Structure 1
């Protein structure tokens, strides 16, 4: 009698993730249940499928041979489920860095949904990187390059970081060293901060003496309110620059800092989902950057 699908499912998840614990999280089972299922499968086949080493496991020779057949079979099952699911509303679960979600993504979602009315977006914001093993999100937009393995990481292009302030204050600042006489708003979690910008312009940054925030959207809001000068990405402050509430005060008069700050991250298998392909094509087009691979 062939092994049950539930046993093969536990084997496939453990083989793909390299961990009984991650397989259990993905399958909403306990680690002991996954371990029991795999031992039962090994007994029915008469061979060891894994070499155990503490938490982590690796496939034996027989296990690797079985996975070459079982892996593609489960891939086909997932594709079939995705195909059937497209008959109803298509859900895309997006996790994003808070400032990117508030300042860039959310203002553009109406345009995306108008073009793709059959797709439903569920958006959550947070600073922790998403672990996709629990299948809670389909895609993550992160700040700072992640070190996750087994995922596709797409850089979302360069951003320009420059001093920004309200127009009334802009007339008082003509050179980089003029900033030394004003309150400088700091963003604690930014990759590019005031010492980096002053160093790029041949100056030494003053000791912190202004407002401090842990999110860019708060620093941008503080600058709009006249609390000082923010050093922020023109991408994140795009709306405020366009409506004139913030001014890039030293544009053309100082050296801006350019860097890649945000990344689109998703599991390799998720790229087979039509909703993710559509979203990835849209966001890369909006940012005028190249998409990843054959989307």
Structure 2
């Protein structure tokens, strides 16, 4: 089927190999190859080509994804909406930023999972969370960082998280370089502008705040770390430095959900619980007292 071929091409574009694509789609590697071949035959264009151990999309393959990908995701989202219902056994999947679970929401999420065994979690970076909610792979998303301007989703702003400089030695002024998270991630790209304005260069860009913390504490370079990580790892406050120049460097936290999914009372109740929890637990506590251990 044409839709099967498009779905397979979309997964292959991310997975890069036939075998991984097959694993993600729960089909054999030969079935992946057959689907792609049938799609190429249908549209009369070569869509993929080998690149060493991997497979890459041709220009025609990328053009097809750019034009059809968003529409396909919307179609999958609408199909997924039909599977959701007010029935208590309808599965609700929450796709989350890992740092937000560990830093703030583990208690709330644990409580909801214990009371409703048809709630499940996954973790991803914010751009992927947005994609998963739009395509119906997730019912709702808990996102950290700035969202795209036009997501087509309902978004609920929970709070803004502040950043701090972590260093194993005392800092009287802002360092001239810091370890950052991956600034090519669209949710984090805004940090580059602010850091550049402060004449701070990224010493290295990592995909893990946990790795950045350990490198900073080992003396590699200071690191730019959000409050949730400081709480999660119980970092010694003597190593944490706050500078007023960084006050505009915040990480917005949002819930996102498709409109039709939000119309379901179970989903709407969950969104409201996140909003209430953020308001009750985090009002006036999105900064830390560096002279004492504090809890958000």
What's the TM-score once normalised by structure 2's chain length?
A: 0.54
Q: Distance in 1 between matches of 2:131 and 2:210?
A: 21
What is the alpha-carbon distance in structure 1 between the residues aligned to residue 166 and residue 132 of structure 2? 35
Shift of the 266–24 alpha-carbon distance from structure 1 to 2, 3 Å rule, reads closer
Structure 1, unpaired ranges of 5+ = 1-18, 29-74, 291-295
Report the Cα offset of residue 204 of structure 1.
2.8
Which runs of 5 or more residues in structure 2 are unaligned?
A: 1-69, 282-296
Aligned to 2:223: 230
2:155 maps to 153
Aligned ranges 1:19-34 → 2 under 5 Å: 25=76
Pairwise CA distance, 1:213? 0.8
What do you get for the CA RMSD once the two structures are aligned?
3.8
Indicate the residue corresponding to 2:142 in structure 1: 141
In structure 2, how many angstroms separate the alpha carbons of the residues matched to 1:158 and 1:100?
12
Match of 1:95 in 2: 95
Q: How does 1:136-285 map to 2 (within 5 A)?
A: 136-142=137-143, 143-165=145-167, 169-170=168-169, 172-173=170-171, 175-177=172-174, 179-180=175-176, 184-189=178-183, 190-191=188-189, 193=191, 196-197=194-195, 199=197, 204-205=199-200, 207-208=201-202, 210-240=203-233, 243-245=234-236, 247=238, 249-251=240-242, 254-258=244-248, 259-285=250-276
Residue 244 of structure 1 deviates from its aligned partner by 3.3
Between the aligned partners of 1:226 and 1:107, the Cα distance in structure 2 is 33
Which residue number corresponds to residue 124 of structure 2? 125
Q: Deviations over 1:190-228 (max 9, x none)?
A: 3454772584xxx532x54x4431343432343355543
- 1:122-152, Cα deviation, whole Å (9 max, x unpaired): 3242442325464321012333213345421
Change (3 A) 1:191 1:159: farther
Structure (1 or 2) with the larger CA radius of gyration: 1
* Distance (Å, rounded) in 1 between the aligned partners of 2:98 and 2:159: 18
Task: Output the CA distance in 2 between the equivalents of 1:278 and 1:272.
Answer: 10
Flag the 1:221–1:107 CA change in 2: closer, same or farther, 3 A: farther
Rounded Cα–Cα distance in structure 1 between residues aligned with 2:71 and 2:232:
47
Q: Deviations over 1:226-261 (max 9, x none)?
A: 543211221343223xx234556333x643324353
Return closer, same or farther for 1:22/1:196 CA change in 2, 3 Å cut-off: closer
TM-score normalized by the length of structure 1: 0.54
Alignment length, in residue pairs?
203
Deviation of residue 162 (structure 1)? 1.9
User: How has the CA–CA distance of structure 1 residues 123 and 254 changed in structure 2, closer, same or farther, with 3 Å as cutoff?
Assistant: same
Q: Indicate if the aligned counterparts of 2:99 and 2:228 stay in contact, CA closer than 8 A.
A: no
